[in-house]
Amino acid sequence: MVDYLANTEINSQRIAAVESCFGASGQPLALPGRVLLGEGVLTKECRKKAKPRIFFLFNDILVYGSIVLNKRKYRSQHIIPLEEVTLEPLPETLQAKNRWMIKTAKKSFVVSAASTTERQEWISHIEECVRRQLLATGRQPSTEHAAPWIPDKATDICMRCTQTRFSALTRRHHCRKCGFVVCAECSRERFLLPRLSPKPLRVCSLCYRELAAQKRKEEEEEEEQSVGSPRQPAYLAGAICGASSGDDDDSDEDKEGSGDGDWPSRVEFYASGVSWSSFHS
């Protein structure tokens, strides 16, 4: 399907349409060999609540954004290279169905589809694209993933000390390492997590102890091994910084409005009707 659609007029038109829907807020998406394979609305679990987001599956990237106007205007574009993606199916609960997790080293989050069939379509299409991308680039599937943030509503008390009760005055914070919801007291430390940010990030007390111990161990090993070679890998330099870097700048899109309500649960895979395995022919 990719080969069949690549370099076709219809594919170029579809990609141009996506670009224009994001307007100036988006990146150029057209690239030689890039094919738009499908699109649809998924519900993304954000920090405060679950929100509809538009998703576009290309053969090499997954693009999503918030919906400003039904179908024709999107913003807060995110682009995820598929070779970095791992999917994890999540079990059904009474409140939450058809969910799975999209995991990358930088960010992991939970989405859900409108039906079991749609969920299956999304997962199999994405996984097929990931497989092909890995094959094409010769990369190994990534094994390190950012922890997804536990939604605010999931807990009224700090998940570390289990003492502090959150309120309008007592803010929730998120540990960037484990994703737990913690109080200010339990997340005073900052640690450099190079995969996530060039700046030290808020971590909970438990993660801080583990990270610091791990860093000490790595430094000791380094000292034993190397005499004369560079002292420290760049990514460890200045790993610890006690000072607060200020407030959490929380998940980008959480502040974004969205066209709540009137969105379609329409999913379209341009490969529909063609068995996915015809990909290989």
Give residues in contact with Zn ion (CB under 5 A): 158, 160-161, 164, 175, 177-178, 183, 186, 204, 207
Q: At closest approach, how far in Å is the CB of 196 from Zn ion?
A: 13
Q: Which is nearer to Zn ion, 242 or 273 (CB)?
A: 242
Q: Which is nearer to Zn ion, 55 or 191 (CB)?
A: 191
Q: At closest approach, how far in Å is the CB of 150 from Zn ion?
A: 10
73 and 23 Cβ atoms separated by less than 8 Å: yes
- Chain CA centroid to CA 224, Å: 38
Q: Where are the beta strands (DSSP E) in the chain?
A: 36-45, 50-58, 61-69, 73-81, 86-89, 99-103, 108-112, 173-174, 181-182, 189-191, 201-203, 240-241, 267-269
Q: At closest approach, how far in Å is the CB of 214 from Zn ion?
A: 13
Contacts of 191 (CB under 8 A, 6+ apart): 177, 200, 201, 203, 207, 208, 211, 212, 239, 240, 241
Read off the amino acid at residue 52. P
Q: Which is nearer to Zn ion, 36 or 211 (CB)?
A: 211
Residue 127 three-state SS? helix
Q: At closest approach, how far in Å is the CB of 181 from Zn ion?
A: 9
Q: Which is nearer to Zn ion, 128 or 152 (CB)?
A: 152
Dihedrals phi, psi of 80, to nearest 5 degrees: -115, 120
Residue 105 three-state SS? coil
Residue 157 three-state SS? strand
Q: Which is nearer to Zn ion, 224 or 247 (CB)?
A: 247
Q: At closest approach, how far in Å is the CB of 9 from Zn ion?
A: 50
Q: At closest approach, how far in Å is the CB of 35 from Zn ion?
A: 39
Paired tokens of 177 = 């390492």
Q: At closest approach, how far in Å is the CB of 172 from Zn ion?
A: 10
Q: How far is CA 80 from CA 20, 21, 223, in A?
A: 19, 18, 37
Q: Which is nearer to Zn ion, 161 or 237 (CB)?
A: 161
Q: At closest approach, how far in Å is the CB of 212 from Zn ion?
A: 12
Contacts of 244 (CB under 8 A, 6+ apart): 188, 190
Paired tokens of 184 = 């200010």
Q: Which is nearer to Zn ion, 68 or 158 (CB)?
A: 158
Read off the amino acid at residue 113. A
Q: Which is nearer to Zn ion, 86 or 187 (CB)?
A: 187
CA distance 239 to 187: 16
